[in-house]
Amino acid sequence: MKPSIILFLVFFGCAMGCSVSPKPIDYGHVGCHYCSMTIVDKQHAAQLVTTKGKVFNFDAVECMMNQLKDDQTEMALFLVNDFDRPGELVDAKNATYLISENIPSPMGAFLSAFSEQKAAQNTLDDNGGKLLSWTELKQEYK
């Protein structure tokens, strides 16, 4: 085989295997990258995707935030499940976060994510707590 063809195949194989995109979480079968707990809660799961396309799944937003404190890997995607749409991953940077002791999360931080600020506000009105932006949440987990 010609060296140019081999080089093309190697490059093409890496390009196909290195795509930066979310991957569906296999609930009930995959463990949290941070705490190793099996991920079953579709309202609180989260996911990180590196710039090289490697995916890390988390059973709770708080596990993802703790991982970010410890890991300096360059991340391309920060994703959280929308509390009101279980199993739907949304951009963590655009989400609104609620800490409410009336809504337990898998690791006990009472942290939930919402894709829409109005939905987060309505849930806050019903359950109490505190709303945070992505920037404020990162400050909480420094």
- State the DSSP code for 43: T
Q: So where are the chain's domains?
A: 20-140
pLDDT at 71: 87
Q: Is the pLDDT of residue 13 over 70?
A: no
pLDDT at 7: 41
Q: Is the pLDDT of residue 41 over 50?
A: yes
Q: Is the pLDDT of residue 120 over 90?
A: yes
Q: Is the pLDDT of residue 67 over 80?
A: yes
Paired residues of 81 in beta bridges: 89
